[in-house]
Amino acid sequence: MKKLSVKLFSLLIVAAGFMTSCSNDSETETPTSSFVANADNFQGTITDGEVILDASKTYKLTGKIQVNAGATLTIPAGTVIQGTSGTASYIAVAQGGKINVKGTASNPVIMTSGKVTKAGGDWGGLVICGKAPINRVTGGASTAQSEVGDLTYGGTISNDNSGSIEYLRIEYAGALFNADKEFNGLSLFGVGNGTKISYVECIHGSDDGFEFFGGTVNTDHLISIGNEDDQFDWTEGWSGTNTNWYGRLDYGKGNRGIEADNYEFGFANTPISNPSITNLTLIGPGSTADATAFAENQAMKLRRGTKGIFTNVVIKAWTTGFDVEHDETLANAGTSLKVVDLKIDSDVTTTTKGKTTAVAPATSGVSATVNANFLTTSTTSTGAGNGVGTPSWTTGWATGF
């Protein structure tokens, strides 16, 4: 028995050594990124593996961070990233790359200005490029270069996955290149519905809060406050499913709650922009707001052939509720473009306005009647959750209400 016990013990030691060796080999083979994140000079290109930031540090975004195909940038709860260099400071995720933002309701990730006196346009913003369809060429199989970051986006993979974003606040973004080219808070270029976008706020940017350039990405719990152009914007055939959006202008800044296009140079190009948004609140500056401060005081501008279904909507304080523009868009009104269960809280001078504009030659201002089925009303609609009040789901991580 003693000999058997010794032999058994020896075998166990050998087996344990073998398993330890295998474990060590496995750890050695685990891919790690060659990129080293310098919190005091956070810039560069991540080409491989996973980079995990340290939430105990504040990262000074002094230039571009680009996440290339096959690489991942992971940002833990509580991490703060401060942009310091205007258009040079931004985070871009290329096709095939991933970003994982792991904020929580009590401890969000914050991307903000690194300047002492903060203002919209202090840094670029977050740009994500995916492989989902866009409609710059009708049919949805085209690709294009992003207007900021100059990265390829678009393709044929509707369920493309660019990562996961939860509980993120983007502040003072939107740095300006020129009159026609500037960053948004969050720019989604051809992003697929394998990507998760939940609980994100864009506040006090110098252009749009959120802009969708085609793609199929779905979102929930988005906040856009005080951005100096539109709070939400889409074009190029975006078709996501969305719930719980809250948008509000600050006085003296901004144009619209939503600006929606199919495609600027092909109103009928396919796939046609066709999102659904359920639970939506849009608050404007007031129907008598200074016209020089607000170029177009509209809850929604729907144009260039877009479709879209908006359900459980609350609007307040706009000169025009809904401006439906162009023949192709008007043709959708009442069927594939409609507002269901609208509550006007107060101070909206004109509920709907419709007009046609020929593509060439351009002639605008021709009055048209928006289909009566475009709008249905309800006195009990709650919008993003609390009418024009602050939604309960914003507690702990959002700001600016």
**Confidence check: pLDDT of 179 > 80:** no
Chain position carrying tokens 């995720």: 93
Report whether 321 contacts 299 (CB < 8 A).
yes
Report whether 213 contacts 183 (CB < 8 A).
no
Q: How confident is the model at residue 168 (pLDDT cuts 50, 70, 90)?
A: very high
Collect all residues with Cβ–Cβ distance below 8 Å to 183 and sequence separation of at least 6.
87, 90, 124, 125, 127, 148, 173, 174, 175, 176, 205, 207
**How far apart are alpha carbons 79 and 258 in whole angstroms?**
30
Chain position carrying tokens 């439906």: 324
Give the mean model confidence (pLDDT) for residues 112-124.
96
Report whether 211 contacts 247 (CB < 8 A).
no
What is the C-alpha R_g of the chain?
24
**How far apart are alpha carbons 323 and 117 in whole angstroms?**
37
**Confidence check: pLDDT of 87 > 90:** yes
Count of CB atoms situated within 10 Å of the CB of 265: 8
**Confidence check: pLDDT of 243 > 70:** yes
**Confidence check: pLDDT of 378 > 70:** yes
Q: What is the pLDDT of residue 154?
A: 98
Dump pLDDT digits (tens) for 273-314: 999 999 999 999 887 777 666 767 899 999 999 999 999 999
By DSSP bridging, strand 181-182 and strand 196-203 are unpaired
Q: What is the pLDDT of residue 354?
A: 87
Using CA atoms of 241, 220, 186, 109 in order, give the dihedral in degrees to the nearest 10. Answer: -160
Dump pLDDT digits (tens) for 61-76: 999 999 999 999 999 9
Dump pLDDT digits (tens) for 96-105: 999 999 999 9
Collect all residues with Cβ–Cβ distance below 8 Å to 285 and sequence separation of at least 6.
249, 250, 251, 252, 254, 293, 294, 297, 317
For residue 294, what are the CA distances in angstroms to 70, 205, 226?
Answer: 43, 16, 12
Report whether 212 contacts 189 (CB < 8 A).
no
Give the mean model confidence (pLDDT) for residues 212-238.
97
Q: What is the residue-averaged pLDDT of the chain?
A: 89
For the chain, which residues make up each domain, given as ranges? 37-228
Higher pLDDT, 90 or 18: 90
pTM of the model: 0.90
Q: What is the pLDDT of residue 255?
A: 87
Q: How confident is the model at residue 4 (pLDDT cuts 50, 70, 90)?
A: very low
Q: What is the pLDDT of residue 28?
A: 36
Q: How confident is the model at residue 15 (pLDDT cuts 50, 70, 90)?
A: very low
Pick from 13-17, 36-40, 116-120, 302-306: least confident: 13-17
Give the mean model confidence (pLDDT) for residues 252-272.
94
Q: How confident is the model at residue 368 (pLDDT cuts 50, 70, 90)?
A: low
Q: How confident is the model at residue 357 (pLDDT cuts 50, 70, 90)?
A: low
**How far apart are alpha carbons 134 and 270 in whole angstroms?**
8
In 3D space, the residue among 279, 93, 122 whose CA is nearest the CA of residue 189 turns out to be: 93
Report percent pLDDT > 70 for the chain: 87
Tokens at 299, concatenated: 């809850």
**How far apart are alpha carbons 298 and 221 in whole angstroms?**
22
Phi, psi (rounded to 5 degrees) for 349: -70, -45
**Confidence check: pLDDT of 95 > 70:** yes
Pick from 224-233, 253-262, 295-304, 358-367: least confident: 358-367
Count of CB atoms situated within 10 Å of the CB of 113: 21
